[in-house]
Structures are given as C-alpha cells and as structure tokens.
Chain A
Amino acid sequence: MLTAFAILTDGLAYAAYLFMVAVGLTLIFGVMKILNVAHGSFYAFGAYGAAMAAGIYYDRGLPEAGGFLFMILLAMAIGLVLGLILERGVLRFVYGRDEVIVVLVTYAVFLILEDVIVFIWGPQSYAAYQPMVWAGNVEIGELVLSNYDILLVAISAGLALFAYWALKFTRYGRLLTVVIFDRETAAAFGINVTVVYTVTFIIGAMLGALGGAMMAPKISITLGIGVEVIVLAFAVVAVGGMGSIEGALVGALIVGICRAAAVHLMPQIELFVIYAVMALVLVFRPYGLFTRAQPRKI
C-alpha cells in the first residue's frame, strides 16, 4: 500500500517534469512540423541558467522565495533569446525543406550549443539545491513528500490548464489551431504564418528552458543532460502522438508512473521501462495515442 502510494506520488512528480519538457517539443512539432533536437539544449541552458541565478542570488540574505523566481525568470529569458536567435538566424532558411534535413539542422545546432555550454559554464557540474531545501518536506503517515515535488506537479498541472485555455479561448491560440490544422489555408486567409512560427518557436524554447530551471534544484547540472531530455521527451511525445498537447500530458503520465513503478519494484530496468512502454504503444498505435496516420489518398 505504501509502495503503491509512493509509486503514485513519485510517478506524478516525474510525469510533471516530463510534461514540462515534452510540451514545448510537441507544440513546435504540431505547428511547424519540426522535430527540434535543439530542444535538449533549451533544457540544458535553462538548468545552467537557473544554477547561475542561484549562484548570484543566494548567500546575500535576500528572501528565499525570490531566488526561485529569479532562477525561473533568468532561465526563461535565456530561452527567449536562444529561441529567437535560432528561429530567425537559422531555421527560417530551411522551412519547406525535407523533414529529415530540418532535423539534421536542429541536430547541428544542438551540437554547437553543447560546446557553447562548455564555453560559458566550463566542464564542471553545478547544483542549485536551495529551493529544494527551502521548500522542505511534508509527512503523510510514514511517507515523506518533498514540497518541491508537489510544487512541480502543481506548476505542470497549471501549465496544462493554461495551454488548454490558451488554445481554446485566446486569439493567438485559435490562430495556432488554424495553422496546425491547415497551413496553406491559414496563409490564404491572411494569417501571418511567419509571425506565428517565430512566436511558437520562442514559446517552445521558453518552455524547454522552464523545464530545465524547474529540474535544476533536483539534479546535478552537468554536460549531457540535454540529450537525455530530448530522447525522453521524444519518448513521451511518441506515446502521446507528435504534435498533440493532450498526448504529451497522457504520455507523460503513463511514462512517469511506469518509471516510478520500475524504480520501486525493479530498479535495474528503470530506463528500459520507458522505452518498453513506448515500443508497446507504438506496436498498437504506430503514431501514438492521440494521432492517427493519415493514409495518402490515391
């Protein structure tokens, strides 16, 4: 019983993290049909940025809560700048080219950014544990829960609700829905697809960086965290269906809970489980739970 509860809470916390990194990836894919491998860099930059913010802020006797806010703001600012540079400086030159070519371009960018990280922050590891300590724990019976995990889940849930609301009820969200549905028609109706692309990419980048900042207190920030994330986020998005926000949510929950179960019951297969779940889903639903293959009309 205790284990089951622990699996549920750990799974939720992990799912919250997965959703945060996957939602930006799936948004960019849905709107622009670009699988952005550099999303891993956004995450890494977010985490490093948060660590930098923590280094600047803490130990100055300033209020603790402000530190957390500062970490998030700095990370998202980095995401914004990075996203803008990438979209305007690189990606717009390859729009309309073959999907695989565009993936290779984002892959090249990812390679470059990996070394840029070393250039800026050096090869050493960073930690930004302060918000975790500040948040403290809560005890429910024998179970100890980290308040920070609860916060993570709350923020992810908020993000999901916000995305739902924004897509359904805001002007920009409806524009996005139109562009996702049919780009040519959207352009024909006078929607400025170029601006929609830029804004979407920046939002996606900021979400990636946010994911990094949120995870920064929980992990050791070190080289290579970006690739792990891109592969994980892809797994989540593949389970849910590429380009689908609700897919990312459901995918994150499934993968998160399965992984937590593995960690508690059979720790050796932790990593394996994630991909096993993905493979299983893909065997039955080749394009994920929330999208269907469109057979070519002939």
Chain B
Amino acid sequence: MLSRANLIGAVLFLAAGIIGFFLPPWLVSLLTIAFANALVVLGLIILWRAGLVPFGQALYYCSGAYTVALLARWAGVSDAFVLLIAGGLVAGIVAFLTGFLLARYREIFFAMLSLAMSMILYGVLVKTETLGSTDGFGVDPPHFLGYAPHGDALGFALYWFVLVVCAISALVIGVYFKSVAGALAVPIRDNEIRVEFLGISVTRLIHMKLVIAGTLAGVGGALAAMTIGHVDPNMSYWTTSGGFVFVTILAGAGSVAAAFVGSLVFEIVRSFAFAVLPGFWQMTLGIVLLLTILFLPEGLGSLATRFRRRKPDTKPVATS
C-alpha cells in the first residue's frame, strides 16, 4: 500500500488541506469545486483508457446533485455523509441501468447515446415544476455528524470533506487500475475480440467501468451541490458534460493525479476567462481543444498516439 505514488499523494493531500487555512474563502470554494469535479474526470479517465468518451457524463453528475437536493428538501436529511452516499448510490444505479444499453456501443454511438440520455434528464428537469424547473432550487448547508458550521467554517469543513473523499477515491481507483479488470482497459481498446477469446466478457467489463465512472460522477455532483448550495438543470446540460470531457482530453489518462491537476487548472482558467473575456468561454474552450488536437496530439497524453496506431494494426489484412 505504501508505494511511492501513495506517499506523494498523502503528502499532497495534507499540504492541500493545510494550505486551505491560509487561503481566502473564495479560493477555498474554488478549490472545493475543482476537486469535486475532479472525481467526475477521474471516472472519465477510467472510460477513456478503454477508448470510450461519453458526451453525457453530466447525467450522473446531475443525478447525484439532485439526489442531495431532494433528500435535503423532501426528507430533511442534512448529514453530509448520508447525502454523499445517497448521491453516489443513485448515480451508480442510474449508470447501472443505462449501462445495459451503453455498454453495447463504442466510439461515436457511445458518445452520442450518452449525450442523448443526459439530455433526457435535462428535458425532464426543465419541464417538471416540482423539481424546480429551470431555476432548480437551493440546498441547505449540510451537517457533519452533528457538527453544523456556518460561514467560513462551513467552507473549510466542505473543503476538508471533499479532500478526504477525493483521497479515498484516488486510492480506490489507483487499486482498481492495478486490478485485472482495470488493467484490461487498453486491451479492450486495442482488440476486443482477443479479450473475449481469452475468456472474459468485454461488455460486462465496460458495464462495470460505466458504473464506477457514474458513481464517481454522482459523488462529485453531490459534493458540488453541497458546496454551491444550489442545483439546477444545467448540471445535466451538454456544456457541463463537455467541460468534463475537455479536462479529460487535456489532462490525459496517464494517472489518477491527472484528474485533479487538470480539474484545478480548468477551474482557475475558467475563473479568469469569465473575468477577462465574459461571454467567450465556450469559444476559448473550443479553440484550445481544437489547437490541442490539431497541433499537439501528444498533449492528449499517450492515448492519442495509441489511438492512431490502433486501426491499421488490428484490421484483418486477409479475408480468406
């Protein structure tokens, strides 16, 4: 367990936690959101390793967030731990159910089906008055096992809460990446037929990846809902999904850490872009994405190069 990576992770985790005490509240809240969203990106990395890019991961993010909001509003649940687990669980179940369809598809179909599913949720939320319609609704500040902080203290409590959840998730996903199921991501991307003929179901492996990624997104959404104190249908909108994909592509799928670094940089850049160039955020995103793909294919991480190698290699050259 005490590998070098875990040691570095532990040091960084403590450092991030301590630094929080010296930062202004707005920055703490920015970091909190960044790390909450990093969990979604972590899930996308799991899928991206297997060659899958969902354009609708916000479906699970939003499911997690609305679970928190609705539990707090309708059932009066206020404990952060309960809310978090509920958010992850509901998103995981949604991912499990949608997974029966999604796990059968790859590439474009996969991406677009996932987008369509997230847009269904968006459509339902926008049209349903009891769910707050387009405005969504507020989420009361959570309690932590009876501890009920306010103001800046709440910000710090949430920051630490998110850090701990991130640390645990990073550890678990790190282990998963080293498991047989996790390590089979590249084989699945390279050559599914071979994997099947070695004796394991590719569909089920992918289904499992979808559930893990969905649960992570739900946990991220739950944390975001508590941090922002508000949920609205935009959490399921395609731009939200697009942002996650964007971070994943730029960060690359090399490591667990990529998710956190990528998400942090993204959040900082977004804050500045909103201040400097309001109204041109999407354009900025689009241009950066385009330039990266066109001129810096290596910037996409090692996967991009493998992607291009893959086609000619696995295509059967003989048909007799």
Contact = CB atoms under 8 A, between A and B. Distances in A.
Given A100-B307, A108-B287, 9 more contacts: A100-B108, A101-B307, A107-B286, A108-B290, A108-B293, A114-B283, A115-B286, A238-B113, A298-B316
Contacts of B247: none
Contacts of B249: 104
B168 interface: no
A105 B287 CA distance: 10
A107 B108 contact: no
Interface stretch (A74-82, A142-150, A278-286): A278-286
Contacts, number: 117
A42 interface: no
B282 A104 contact: no
A112 B304 CA distance: 22
Interface residues of B, number: 44
A14 interface: no
B123 A272 contact: yes
Contacts of A100: 51, 53, 107-108, 111, 307
B242 interface: yes
Instruction: Name which of A242, A271, A272 has the most chain B CB atoms within 10 A of its CB.
Output: A271
Interface string B195-237: 0000000000000000000000000000000000000000000
B73 interface: no
Contact residues on A (Cβ < 8 Å of other chain), bracket:
35 or more
B83 to A, nearest CB: 27
Given A97-B308, A103-B111, A271 B124 contact: yes
A69 interface: no
Contact of B120 (A35, A111, A275): A275
Interface in A18-42: 35
Interface string B265-303: 000000000000001111101110110011000000000
B2 to A, nearest CB: 37
A297 B116 contact: no
Interface in A186-232: 227-228, 231
A103 B289 contact: no
Given A231-B119, A238-B109, A111 B279 contact: no
Interface of A: 35, 90, 93-94, 97-101, 103-105, 107-116, 118-119, 227-228, 231, 234-235, 238, 242, 268, 271-272, 275, 278-279, 282-283, 286-287, 296-298
B93 interface: no
Nearest to B281: A115
B310 A115 contact: no
A248 to B, nearest CB: 15
Contacts of A108: 285-287, 289-290, 293
Contact of A234 (B112, B294, B316): B112
Interface in B232-255: 238, 242, 245, 249
B104 A105 contact: no
Given A115-B283, A116-B283, A271-B127, A98 B289 contact: no
B304 A101 contact: yes
A111 B109 CA distance: 20
Contacts of B123: 271-272
Given A104-B293, A298-B193, A109 B116 contact: no
Nearest to A110: B286
A87 to B, nearest CB: 14
B134 to A, nearest CB: 12
22 contacts: A94-B293, A98-B307, A104-B53, A104-B249, A107-B286, A107-B289, A108-B289, A109-B286, A110-B286, A111-B242, A115-B279, A115-B280, A234-B116, A271-B120, A271-B124, A271-B127, A272-B124, A275-B116, A282-B101, A286-B104, A287-B109, A296-B193
B150 interface: no
Contact of B290 (A105, A275, A282, A283): A105
B124 A90 contact: no
Contacts of A114: 282-283
Contacts of B279: 115, 118
Instruction: Name which of A115, A275, A278, A296 has the most chain B CB atoms within 10 A of its CB.
Output: A115
B278 to A, nearest CB: 11
Contacts of B108: 35, 99-100, 103, 242
Interface in B13-64: 51, 53, 55
